[in-house]
């Protein structure tokens, strides 16, 4: 995987936005890191987190998820940690990182800002960092805004 990532980086210079997301490659063989994700079309497979150029969809870097190590505790803030690992090579480049709600957290956005990167992402309304005032309006019309006083 390291050799693959080196070649991806060597042969392409990304545009201003980088997307971070996950992919499940369909695979039903026996490995210690085959994942079962019922919400995906192929429910079994090998999970890879990708950093891709948002404009061309070129894969810039991949990180294979090998699962929790035997005897280890559940990883805290896994999405945030993965996002930071994939974004670190682009520190101080002025690029924007785009991610979905699995990777989004207030602390992660602050850490990216310290690395000189902007962040755009969706966020779940039940995250700890969302103020209560913003949680009171779950049925707002699409594209609406509310002035909180």
User: Between 126 and 122, whose confidence is greater?
Assistant: 122
Strands 17-26 and 96-99: parallel
What does the pLDDT read at residue 113? 94
CB atoms < 10 A from the CB of 34, how many?
15
More confident residue, 30 or 57: 57
Domain extents in the chain: 2-135
CA angle 14, 19, 52 (to 5 degrees): 50
State residue 76's pLDDT score.
83
- Output the pTM of the full model: 0.80
Reported CATH class of domain 2-135: alpha beta
pLDDT digits (tens, 9 = 90+) for 46-103: 999 999 999 999 999 999 998 877 777 877 889 899 999 999 999 999 999 999 988 9
């Amino acid at each position: 995987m390291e050799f693959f990532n080196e070649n991806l980086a060597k042969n392409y210079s990304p545009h201003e936005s980088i997307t971070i997301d996950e992919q499940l490659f369909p695979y039903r063989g026996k490995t210690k890191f085959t994942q079962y994700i019922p919400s995906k079309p192929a429910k079994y497979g090998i999970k890879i987190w990708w950093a891709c150029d948002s404009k061309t969809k070129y894969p810039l870097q991949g990180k294979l998820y090998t699962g929790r190590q035997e005897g280890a505790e559940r990883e805290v803030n896994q999405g945030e940690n993965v996002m930071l690992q994939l974004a670190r090579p682009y520190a101080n480049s002025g690029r924007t990182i785009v991610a979905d709600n699995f990777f989004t957290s207030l602390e992660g956005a602050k850490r990216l800002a310290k690395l000189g990167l902007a962040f755009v992402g969706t966020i779940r309304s039940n995250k700890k960092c969302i103020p209560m005032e913003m949680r009171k309006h779950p049925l707002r019309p699409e594209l609406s805004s509310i002035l909180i006083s």
